[in-house]
Amino acid sequence: MVDAERLRSRILALIEDSDREPELIEQGSLNFVIVGGGATGTEVAGALADMLHSAAPAEYRRLVNATRIYLVEHGPMLLAPFSAKAHDYASKVLQRGGVILKLNTAVKEVHPGQVVLSDGGTIKSRCVIWGAGLKAATVANNSGLCKDPAGESRLTTILASRASRVSTRSATSLISPEKMETLCLSLVR
């Protein structure tokens, strides 16, 4: 809960900063990048779009219209372990909500102020939310079990699905607190 509150505070602070200093918008202050199109990243992208478009105070409407939410997924589809119907539905709903999907694209690097993509592009941003990399050990993928549409074993899919329901702090405990702070909350203030 603490991480969610900090993230919400960070998002609102970026909107307020952009209101006071509009030149920050050109530096990516209203670009939000979510990495990973699995259950976690997809849910976060939808929740962020809902928060910005339906809960933002009226005085920030023009800033909300300048906001860009990017969902970057290394694979060819969102929610890879789920059905084709789920992939299509999630993609349509997110795009209708203004989320820009970057499929077949990986995040190569995260720097203060920008994200470098595998296709050579960059996205200016001051807020990157990491929802990728929740995956079982390689031994599960090499176990000979049936594969899902993403090419991962069913065991990996089950474990990843369960991991996405774990709290953000638990699911990201393998990343140092300093790295997590940089990735999720304060890429250049």
- At residue 153, the pLDDT reads 45
The answer as to whether 90 is a domain residue is: yes
pLDDT number for residue 3 = 84
Q: State the burial class of residue 61 (Cβ atoms within 10 Å of its Cβ: 0-12, 13-18, 19+).
A: exposed
Report how many domains make up the chain.
1
- What CATH number should be reported for the domain holding residue 56? 3.50.50.100
| Least-confidence region, from 12-26, 83-97, 132-146 | 132-146
Residue 144 lies in a domain: no
Range of the domain at 18: 2-134+173-185
What is the average pLDDT across 84-89?
A: 94
The answer to whether the beta carbons of residues 180 and 172 sit under 8 Å apart is yes
Identify whether 16 is part of a domain.
yes
pLDDT per position as a tens digit, 155-168: 344 444 434 433 33
Do the domain assignments include residue 12?
yes
* Euclidean distance between CA atoms 146 and 140, whole angstroms: 11
- The pLDDT tens digits of the residues spanning 169-180 come to 333 333 333 333
User: Is 40 within a domain?
Assistant: yes
In a domain, residue 57? The reply is: yes
Q: What percent of the chain has pLDDT over 90?
A: 56
**4 falls in which pLDDT band (50, 70, 90)?**
confident
State pLDDT tens for residues 32-49.
999 999 999 999 999 999
Instruction: Calculate the dihedral angle through the C-alpha atoms of 51, 57, 61, 66, rounding to the nearest 10 degrees.
Output: -50
Instruction: State the DSSP string of 41-109.
Output: HHHHHHHHHHHHHHSS-GGGHHHHHH-EEEEE-SSSSSSTTS-HHHHHHHHHHHHHTTEEEETT--EEE
Beta strand pairing call for 31-35 and 99-102 = unpaired
Q: Flag whether 112 is in a domain.
A: yes
- Does 73 reside within a domain? yes
